[in-house]
Structure 1
Amino acid sequence: MGVTDSAHSHRIAALQDRLAAFAAARDWGQYHTPKNLAAALNVEAGELLEIFQWLTPELSATVMEDSESAARVEDEIADVLAYLLQLCTVLGVDPLAALDAKIDRNEERFPVQ
């Protein structure tokens, strides 16, 4: 793992710690079961999709040009990431290691022709 990867790992861990502290301060940990977090992740991904639902491919590519829609996209991406990181914490999954391993498997499954 390079310096940049290490910095990213530390940043992800810090965000996970911050999310856990936020939930603990509000006694929400009791609701943060793998099932509930996976469901919440799916709901938030749906809310992200809703922004793009009726846009043409061309319009969807320009969604970040409008400050209001860009803010909505960023908020929904943050929600998706927050629930994903919380799910990883609860399950003991290192999200960067999981992604790295998945990319390795995909490179083997789908070699460059």
Structure 2
Amino acid sequence: MRWDNHLPRMSATDATTTLAELKKRILAFSHEREWEQFHAPKNLSMALAAEAGELMEHFLWATSEASRTTVQDPAKRAKIEEELADVIIYALEFANMTGIDAAAAIERKMAANAKKYPVEKARGRSDKYTEL
């Protein structure tokens, strides 16, 4: 049985697609291929890091301004989007395989960051929280 038969084909956008929907699609994709056996936290974290490296390669040695220009070039942007998608897919697959609620984890981390980087101290600064 194809697990994704029950999931509508998505015309996904950030405004219309939930994390839960994405996690279901990713889980179905992996399950159909019987890839769970390979998706230990160690392997997924390594794959995530590798894909993040591939994303970074698009900006290697570029100035900050050149990196902003790079993402505006349609051909380069398409490749960058693919690498970003790989990073997000592996992050959500990691959440799937470990039972981590990604949205809750993000909320907790954002709350912790708000305490470490209060607006009145961190606005316009790139210092580490211990230096504020």
TM bracket, shorter-chain basis: 0.7 to 0.9
What is the deviation of 1:54? 2.0
In structure 2, the gaps of 5 or more residues are 1-14, 122-132
Counterpart for residue 98 of structure 1: 105
Structure 1 residues 2-42: Cα deviation after superposition (integer angstroms, max 9, x where no partner)? xxxxxx8x721111111111111111111011110000000
Q: Using the aligned pairs only, state the percent identity.
A: 41
Aligned residue identity for 1:30: Q
RMSD over aligned Cα atoms: 1.4
Deviation of 1:110 (Å): 2.1
1:45 matches 2:52: yes
Matched positions, count: 105
2:39 counterpart of 1:28: no
Gaps of 5+ in 1: 1-7
Once residues 96 and 20 of structure 2 are traced to their aligned partners in structure 1, the CA distance between those partners, rounded to angstroms, is 9
87, 94, 110: which one pairs with 1:87? 94
1:63 corresponds to: 70
Which contiguous aligned blocks of 4+ residues in structure 1 show a shift greater than 4 angstroms? none
Greater relative contact order (CA < 8 Å, ≥ 6 in sequence)? 1
Say whether residues 1:11 and 2:11 are aligned partners.
no
Q: CA deviation at 1:104?
A: 0.8
Identify the structure with the greater helix proportion: 1
Q: How far apart are the structure 1 equivalents of 2:98 and 2:85?
A: 20
- Partner SS for 2:95: helix
What are the Cα deviations for residues 41-74 of structure 1, in whole angstroms up to 9, with x where unaligned?
0000000000000212111011122111100110
Amino acid at match of 1:81: I
With the length of structure 2 as denominator, give the TM-score of the two structures. 0.75
1:60 is paired with a residue whose SS is helix
Secondary structure at the residue paired with 2:109? helix
> TM-score normalised to the size of structure 1?
0.86
